[in-house]
Amino acid sequence: MENYDVVLDFFEKVGKPVKAGEVAEATGLDKKEVDKIMAKLKKEGKIVSPKVCFWEIKK
């Protein structure tokens, strides 16, 4: 599974807004890598920010 899929899968399973650091810690990926993947997910419209610094899967 690619890192992109790992991060997307985490967002689908967690079911609540989380910070990038929490994603990195839970997935075991480097935070810089998570930041890049999250930027791509945001650009694709797959994640949204309900409040500052927190992200969740778009419903």
Structural domains of the chain, ranges and CATH numbers in brackets: 3-57 (1.10.10.10)
CB-CB neighbours of 25 under 10 Å: 13
- State phi, psi for 18 to the nearest 5 degrees: -135, 160
Confidence tier at 59 by pLDDT (50, 70, 90): confident
Q: Residue type for 31, please?
A: K
Give the SS3 label for residue 56.
strand
Query: Mind listing the pLDDT tens digit for each residue in 9-53?
Result: 999 999 899 999 999 999 999 999 999 999 999 999 999 999 999
Backbone φ and ψ of 50, nearest 5°: -75, -25
